[in-house]
A and B are shown apart, each in its own frame.
Chain A
């Protein structure tokens, strides 16, 4: 076994590495140091001495008041920003709570995120939270949901008299989540999604200079099976789609756009060194891509900022407290890779949405790393390691090969629409699981060191059970108390702009301000763009 060890993505690894394993070609990149192109050694010169990574956890469940309570709890624990997770039944699908698909599963509503009908619910959640000071992801991980989520959050700010230019935060609108990893029952097609994302980006360029409009989330591709090189390749293939389509609009040049597209997300799993190498390779690839493909000379415009979510798929149902150790290891790899923000998947991930205690542990893991270990003192502390440099270089080479394959498929969206990407992810997902079934890859508690687990260590968080009933009440209240004429007018205007080449974000802002609901906006999108037909028939 010692003779044929492989990384998680299948790169052969030797028992020991030396100077000859580090390609000469990487020396220049290493000497550039952190904060300088091609950024292998870090996005910023001072790294964590000047800017500690942001502790940034997913959270949300139940009623708006439940979500508010959990957000305040996390802020009290020392979280550095807030992420608002919304009910997947309604938010991901743009269904109101009285939609037949939702009613059929009404008890599910609110299980995986807070139920949000419209801007009033955002006001409830954010009550007492000083949003002008807090870095926020207000939801909208799924592409079609993002305009609504961002517009609601920004509208709350406007109503408080906060200048949008002051707001800092990030959108997501991720293609991997939407069209690969978590395919919904109804979703607008990827080309329409691309248009929405680019509208959001242009809106932010004009109105919210401190906002990351979209965040390409390799995590969702990787946790669906894509290997590390494929994750790198597909993230940048997505970025190219954004940049090319935006540049075609003619309003902004690539060097004005790249910073808005260059806030991305990767998955860090349990292959410690490969994932550190992946984050380092990612920064270099982005810098090189922008320089070579778009001729961007300005280094600052080529700086990639990375958010990491530690792999939920690496966490086990069996002996769940072991996941605290796994979370710590993955968090450590993320930090050694130079992340700007980090969410540690909670130890009860395989059982339920996070309990308060599990959430607290994810924050504490990061605080222990920040305060007790000293690993924040030196930028890229593993830089120069023969093994890590050889691995970074090899991963980069493989990722460019994968990138060329995607280009050969006609680009990211073509590869998505044809199902090429899904087949690739599915094949590797099966291979990975076969390794576990065949005991070629050992997972403690799953295929080795199993124990009798009765009574089970934890029972799983149950959340609230009245979210659908409460939301039905709020929906009726919104519909009866709003200015119906203004709401209808706003919806007509939204439809008109969707059918034109104008920017949808202005009309979506007007609509949510007129108490238009999530499902009504979804109705317009579906009417204009129809449904995506997923290329795979599972």
Chain B
């Protein structure tokens, strides 16, 4: 069974999208290792320790925090793909996609996210589709 790390990069507690995506991935047969709000070092060590096949990041904050996590993952767990969702404005999406991260902004279909997870956890993947991107609508405090 493929193992997916799911983590929130920020301390902002909006859970709706993260929970929906996690449930959909579990329903699709993935083993989801939910880290919740996790620091970069925790995400990296869990990815290594759990021998994860994919890392899913819920982005609720700045892209720089995500990029630092990507840098650390590249060193510690090279080759483990990353996908992301959350409140990801278009300019952040472009920056993450440039790093090879598939991005699913609010409104993305869960079936697309699940399809991406299947593709990303099965060896060489076909060229990233240009389809609409990733997580269900956000909520606000």
A interface residues with partner B (beta carbon < 8 Å):
58, 88-89, 92-93, 100-102, 104-105, 107-108, 111-112, 141, 177, 181-185, 220, 223-225, 309, 311-318, 345, 349-352, 426, 429-430, 433, 436-437, 443, 445-447, 450, 456, 459-462, 465, 537-538
CB distance from B2 to the nearest CB of A (A): 19
Please tell me which stretch of B19-27, B47-55, B75-83, B119-127 contacts chain A, meaning at least 4 of its Cβ atoms lie within 8 angstroms of it.
Answer: B19-27
- Closest Cβ neighbor of B39 among chain A residues: A104
5 sample A-B contacts, Cβ–Cβ < 8 Å, listed by A number? A88-B13, A184-B11, A350-B87, A351-B87, A436-B136
Q: How far is the CA of A314 from the CA of B137 in the complex (A)?
A: 7
Given B11, B88, B92, B140, which contacts A92 in the complex, CB threshold below 8 Å?
Answer: B11
Asked whether, in the complex, the Cβ of B13 is within 8 Å of the Cβ of A437, the reply is no
- Residues of B within 8 Å of A102, CB to CB, are 11
User: Would you give the shortest CB distance from B58 to chain A, in whole angstroms?
Assistant: 11
CA distance A88 to B61 in the complex (A): 10
Q: Is the CB of A185 within 8 A of B11?
A: yes
State the Cβ distance, B82 to closest chain A Cβ, in Å: 17
- Most interface-central of B87, B132, B139 (chain A CB within 10 A): B139
Q: Which single member of B11, B92, B137 contacts A105 (CB below 8 Å)?
A: B11
Please determine whether A316 and B107 come into contact, CB atoms closer than 8 angstroms. yes
- Using Cβ atoms and an 8 Å threshold, which residues of chain B touch A437? 109-111
Contacting pair B107 A538 (CB below 8 A) = no
Quick check: is B15 within 8 A (CB to CB) of the other chain? Answer: yes
Q: Are A538 and B15 in contact, with the CB atoms below 8 A?
A: yes
Complex Cα distance, B40 from A460, in Å, reads: 25
Contact A538 B34 (CB under 8 A): yes
Residues of A within 8 A of B14 (CB): 181-182
Q: B127-141: contact bitstring with A at CB < 8 Å (1 yes, 0 no)?
A: 000001000111111
Q: Is B15 in contact with A181, judged by CB distance below 8 angstroms?
A: yes
**A430 and B20 within 8 A (CB):** yes
Residue contact A460 to B139, C-beta cutoff 8 Å: no
Q: List the A side residues contacting B34 at CB < 8 Å.
A: 537-538
Chain B residues whose CB sits within 8 angstroms of the CB of A426 once the complex forms: 19, 23
In the complex, are the beta carbons of A182 and B141 less than 8 A apart? yes
In the complex, what distance in Å separates the CA atom of A318 from the CA atom of B65?
25
Question: Most chain-A Cβ atoms within 10 A of its Cβ — which of B22, B60, B92, B137?
Answer: B137
Check B109 against A429 for contact (C-beta < 8 Å).
no
| Contact across chains for B106 and A350 when beta carbons are under 8 A apart | yes
User: Given A88-B11, A182-B13, A316-B137, A351–B89 Cβ distance below 8 Å?
Assistant: yes
> Judging by beta carbons under 8 Å apart, are A538 and B18 in contact?
yes
Question: What is the CA–CA distance of A225 and B9 in the complex, to the nearest angstrom?
Answer: 23
Quick check: A224 and B16 within 8 Å, CB to CB? yes
Judge whether B11 and A349 touch: CB under 8 Å. no
Which residues of chain B have C-beta atoms less than 8 A from A89's C-beta? Answer: 10-12, 61
Q: Given the known A-B contacts A317-B105, A433-B136, are A538 and B11 also in contact in the complex, defined by CB atoms under 8 Å? A: no
Asked if B36 is an interface residue, CB under 8 A from chain A, the answer is yes
**Could you say which residues of chain B place their CB within 8 Å of the CB of A92?**
11-13
Residues 93-114 (chain B) with a chain A CB within 8 angstroms: 105-107, 109-111
The answer to whether B107 touches A312, judged by C-beta atoms less than 8 angstroms apart, is no
Kindly state the separation between the CA atoms of A462 and B87 in the bound complex, as whole angstroms: 12
B133's nearest neighbour on chain A, judged by CB, is A317
Select which of B12, B20, B88, B89 is within 8 A of A182 by beta carbon.
B12
Give the shortest distance, in Å, between B8 (CB) and chain A (any CB). Answer: 9
Minimal beta-carbon separation of B31 from chain A (angstroms): 14
* Cβ-defined contact, B19 with A312, below 8 A: no
Given the contacts A88-B11, A350-B107, A111 and B37 also touching, CB distance less than 8 Å: no
Contact partners of A447 in chain B: CB under 8 A:
109
CA distance A271 to B23 in the complex (A): 26
Residue of A nearest to B109 (CB): A437
A89 and B87 CA atoms in complex are apart in Å by 16
Q: What is the minimal beta-carbon distance from A434 to any residue of chain B, in angstroms?
A: 8
Out of B16, B40, B60, B106, which one reaches A104, CB within 8 Å?
B40
CA distance A151 to B13 in the complex (A): 24
A105 to B58, CA, bound (A): 14
Q: Are B90 and A351 in contact (CB under 8 A)?
A: yes
Question: Given the complex, which residues of A lie within 8 Å of B106, measured CB to CB?
Answer: 316-317, 350
Cα distance A58–B140 when bound, in Å?
10
B12 / chain A contacts, CB cutoff of 8 Å: 88-89, 92, 108, 112, 182
Q: How far is the CB of A347 from chain B (nearest CB, A)?
A: 13
When distances are taken between beta carbons in the complex, the residues of chain B under 8 Å from A224 are: 15-16, 139
B140 x A108 contact (CB < 8 A): no
Q: Please, how many angstroms separate the alpha-carbon atoms of A349 and B22 in the complex?
A: 23
A313 touches B11 (CB 8 A): no
- Return chain A residues, CB-CB under 8 Å to B107: 316-318, 350, 443, 445-446
Q: Least Cβ distance of A316 to chain B in Å? A: 6
User: A315's contact among B39, B92, B111, B137, by CB below 8 Å, is which?
Assistant: B137
Say whether B40 contacts A183, CB under 8 Å.
no
**Inter-chain contacts of A445 with B (CB < 8 A):** 107
Q: Cα distance A58–B40 when bound, in Å? A: 30
Does B90 contact A350, Cβ atoms closer than 8 Å?
A: no
- Bound-state Cα–Cα, A311 to B137, Å: 10
Measured between beta carbons, the chain B residues less than 8 angstroms from A93 are 11
Nearest B-chain residue to A460, judged by Cβ: B89
Most B C-beta atoms less than 10 A away, residue of A108, A184, A185, A220: A108
Given that A104-B40, A351-B89 are known contacts, is A312 also in contact with B139, CB under 8 Å in the complex? yes
The answer for the CA separation of A54 and B139 in the assembled complex, in Å, is: 23
A89-B10, A89-B11 known; A460 vs B138 contact (CB < 8 Å): no
CA distance A456 to B61 in the complex (A): 20
Query: Nearest Cβ distance between residue A254 and chain B, in whole angstroms?
Result: 30
Q: Closest approach, in angstroms, between the C-beta of B104 and any C-beta of chain A?
A: 10
Is there an interface contact between B91 and A459, defined as CB atoms closer than 8 Å?
Answer: yes
Find the B residue at minimum CB distance from A106: B65
Q: Which of A183, A349, A430, A537 is within 8 Å of B138, CB to CB?
A: A349
